[in-house]
Structure 1
Amino acid sequence: MKALQTDVCVIGGGPAGSALAAQLSALGNSVVLIERAEFPRRHLGESLTPGVRTLLESIGAGDVLEKAGALAVESVLVNWDDGLRERIGPESRGTLVNRGRFDALLLEHARSAGVQVLQPAVARDCSPFPEGWRITVDRGGETIHITARFLADASGRTFATGGRKRRTGARTTAFYAYWQGSDLPRRPRIEAGSDAWYWGVPIPDGTYNTLVFVDPRTYATDRVQEMVARSGLLEGCRDIHLVAQFQAADATPYIDEESVTDHSIKVGDAALSIDPLSSSGVQKAIQTALSGSVVVNTLLRRQESRGAAIEFYRSSLRDASERHRRWAGEYYGAAAATRNAEFWRRRSSVDTPPEPVSTLNADDFADEQLTLSLDLKLVESPCIDGEYVTLKTALQHPALDGPVTYVGGSEMPPLVRRLRVGMKPMEIALLWSDLVPIRTGLALTGWLINNGLLIRARDGKAHRLKHQIASFRV
């Protein structure tokens, strides 16, 4: 029997667990990570959005994609609501990876950052006590007792620590299988069927993954191969065969309403699962890990900021869940417009779509006198400030998804407090020049204009705002 003491115990060595563990170690915490599977392992989620690279670079793991042999995506074939077309654009230019290799490299990054990795090992029991957690681990017949001040659940949909999951979309099952052959597709493909949707992904190891997303009440595994054959996923393919039979995985989106407490946190799929339509699962998992690492660091070291840290994490998950829910609903709605199946109706957005935001050209305002919108308010909001979560003043406006403190690394409230009624864009940039470069000041002014926080000063309105702007300087 072996005993370990640590600041944080992380359960799960996927992208979320590895990123969280590495960041917490970099912040000076001792970390033990428990992973039940041996790596490399085959895993779904091989299509990565462009933002994943930026996130990896931010934690010093920017070379993981290259080491994993990732393939760059130049375009995606789309057959959704207006016939087959090729989608080329920034949103299409992600990467395709072998998740077994990718996950193994991220876990190695955590190990090199000082994380003690137990693998393969299984957390048999997790018991809270007033100062933290006691975890009993089985590693190859050896029992290890871990005492941790904090427990992080990164176990995905297995939910090592339980919780309260609230479904945020229709129940969905993904049936998937891998194919081999000499004539497989080389580009990802997404397609809407009559009552299902399809996703095809070429993998760097030479296989091709076909996925079918269905309502679990209406389809069984024995029908799926026939559905794939009727779709365009294998169009033009010859000399191909299945590596193994189709398997099923739950793909229902949800959010955990107990995502963080004084001594525990959930990251990745343990906290939030978004609709697979966005292919953003890995990106969102790493994002929760990075924000979660600051939240955990705050809870461990700055108890006076406990409330702000917990509210920040919970609200950031709620906001992310709602944004993805609305986006997916609108995208499903586009397919539902030409399909009458319940599958599409259940997934389509029933909300009133937001008014489109027109992008304004800040140059058009060069000679305009500007003033702050009457709808703009300054509020106290929790946000990340370095290694901790703190309460800071933020901008609140109906056009923003939520309170905003920083834009492009610049803290906005101190800049806004300086504004006077009737200033022109260049005058504003010069006013801020002791805090930000003039070029940055003009860009921030453009951001305020585009989001409706700065508007043209009109006769009869400017004088009503003088007291408001004065109060901003307090």
Structure 2
Amino acid sequence: MAEPRILILGAGPAGAACAMGLQRLGYPVEMVCDWRRFEAVEGVSQRVLDGLRHAGLGSALEQAAMPARRQVHWNGQQQWLNQECLLDRRRFDAALRDDLRRAGVGLIEARVSKLHSTAHAHQVQLSDGRVLHADFLVEARGRQAPLTASRLRGPESVSLLSVWQGAPAEPVSAVQSLADGWAWMARLADGRCYWQISLDSSAGGLPGKAHLPEYCARRRGESALVAEVFGAAAGQAVPVHARSSTAILAGACAGHNWLRIGDAAMAVDPLSGNGIFQSLSSALQAPAVINTLLRRPGQQALALRFHQERIEQLFLRFARIGRDFYAQEADKAGQAFWGPRQVWPDAQPLHLAGDFRQWQVQQRPVVSHGFIEQAEVVVGPDQPLGIWHLDGVPLAPLVRGVQAGQPLQWLLHGRPAPEQARLRGWLAAQGYPV
């Protein structure tokens, strides 16, 4: 039986992580990729570095090793908070492709002109006239992917990015709240400067495209922080790239012969967290989902449920993170830009207190040995999808024993001391008296 032809549209972090995972499962993979049309830099956390390492993207990981001091002007306070690693997206994207080529992934550099899908196959027409056929399609083109009937959409937002060359200096980044939005800025060691302002795109008042350079230069000139970070060069009018930054959760994110991952499945507000981290979060599970859809038809419904539920829960988690950051601006409560974002998507806390009295052991889909399978997991208010194990130790037997009134020392007997300590710590976090 011939191997199914898998085609991934997009070679960003989500597409790359998915491709590497599929290669490890033995699938030949091809990717259609187009270069980013604008320069950009992102600040990434240790979680992103760990995700890249886990995905086997070593060259891309090396491009994220530019630590920078981070200055925060938020809620009337000014402070230096730790540091973040600055990542040049053009170099990062090139490194992703190096990793993919070394792994044997076929890269086709072109733009997608037209996509036609049926229940049995996909036909992709490229900008150079070529036509590709695939049995399984992964949509990973980010916000460029065609929109679906959105299940959830946040306040309408737009981000305006300006880039210019300054003098080499120590890398630094900063975030600043404004009356009508917020700005993030970074200076790389080679002197390249990035400034991005995020605003409400539904409010009106923005000038036309031709006048955006002057508008952004004026906005930078109004900020003492911009002058501190960049110096006088920040006052020049430079080209501006405008892009939507509205949080969008796609409707259906999976079918029996297709999958949406990364920003194509859920694009979050840039204040909600690092975009690369959320892309990796949704993509690392994808190879097991695809493997199940292709190799175990009887478990397709389970795999589709697994992917959809996790995309939705990840989206809500990031949306609530953004909401809580916006809500920190207490003096701006109810204002035009801030008010809607301080209450969206809901009023549910980001984290609910652990309560062992509400634990339930249920059968839920999990990733196991490259497939989606059923397993007993522990479901609670703060973990609606369930927790299967803690550092490799299944939690369901432990919880079932606790609920049956068995002494904890019996349940933990024979386990190594470090393992016992981790399990006791987890139980204590759930309110269980240990």
TM-score, normalised on structure 2?
A: 0.89
Q: Distance in 1 between matches of 2:183 and 2:152?
A: 22
Q: CA distance change for structure 1 residues 427 and 94 in 2, over 3 Å: closer, same or farther?
A: farther
Q: CA deviation at 1:380?
A: 1.2
* Equivalent in 14, 17, 29 of residue 16 of structure 1: 14
RMSD over aligned CA atoms reads 2.7
Q: Is the 8 A contact 1:71 1:97 kept in 2?
A: yes
Q: Corresponding residue for 2:111?
A: 122
The DSSP-based 3-state class of the residue aligned with 1:403 is: strand
Q: CA deviation at 1:386?
A: 2.1
- What does residue range 137-176 of structure 1 map to in structure 2 within 5 Å? 137-139=126-128, 143-160=129-146, 162-176=147-161
Deviations 1:97-129 (A, max 9, x none): 11101111112211221211111x123332223
Deviations 1:185-215 (A, max 9, x none): 7321111111111111223543111011111
Q: CA distance change for structure 1 residues 165 and 437 in 2, over 3 Å: closer, same or farther?
A: same
Q: Distance in 1 between matches of 2:327 and 2:265?
A: 26
Q: CA deviation at 1:25?
A: 1.7
Q: Is the 8 A contact 1:191 1:232 kept in 2?
A: no
Q: Is the 8 A contact 2:67 2:171 kept in 1?
A: no
Deviations 1:406-438 (A, max 9, x none): 2223221133344475555544321xx3xx533
Letter in 2 for 1:247: H
Q: CA deviation at 1:174?
A: 0.4
- What does residue range 259-278 of structure 1 map to in structure 2 within 5 Å? 259-278=253-272
Q: Corresponding residue for 2:122?
A: 133
Letter in 1 for 2:285: S
Q: Corresponding residue for 2:29?
A: 31
Q: CA distance change for structure 1 residues 451 and 252 in 2, over 3 Å: closer, same or farther?
A: same
Q: Distance in 2 between matches of 1:19 and 1:188?
A: 27
Q: CA distance change for structure 1 residues 268 and 357 in 2, over 3 Å: closer, same or farther?
A: closer
Letter in 1 for 2:66: L
Q: Any stretches of 5+ residues in structure 2 without a counterpart?
A: none
Q: CA distance change for structure 1 residues 286 and 244 in 2, over 3 Å: closer, same or farther?
A: same
Q: Distance in 2 between matches of 1:203 and 1:300?
A: 45
- What does residue range 49-128 of structure 1 map to in structure 2 within 5 Å? 49-66=45-62, 68=63, 70-73=65-68, 75-88=69-82, 93-119=83-109, 121-128=110-117
- What does residue range 154-303 of structure 1 map to in structure 2 within 5 Å? 154-160=140-146, 162-182=147-167, 186-216=171-201, 217-220=204-207, 221=212, 222-236=214-228, 237-240=230-233, 242=236, 244-303=238-297
Q: CA deviation at 1:298?
A: 1.2
Q: Corresponding residue for 1:383?
A: 366
Letter in 2 for 1:44: A
Deviations 1:152-209 (A, max 9, x none): 111111215x422244321111011012222767321111111111111223543111
* Equivalent in 393, 411, 420 of residue 441 of structure 1: 420
Q: Is the 8 A contact 1:175 1:212 kept in 2?
A: yes
Q: CA distance change for structure 1 residues 414 and 426 in 2, over 3 Å: closer, same or farther?
A: closer
The DSSP-based 3-state class of the residue aligned with 1:252 is: coil
The DSSP-based 3-state class of the residue aligned with 1:323 is: helix
Percent of aligned pairs with the same residue? 23
Q: Any stretches of 5+ residues in structure 1 without a counterpart?
A: 360-371, 457-474
The DSSP-based 3-state class of the residue aligned with 1:349 is: coil
Q: Is the 8 A contact 1:193 1:231 kept in 2?
A: no
Q: Distance in 2 between matches of 1:399 and 1:181?
A: 46
Greater CA drift, 227-236 or 97-106: 227-236
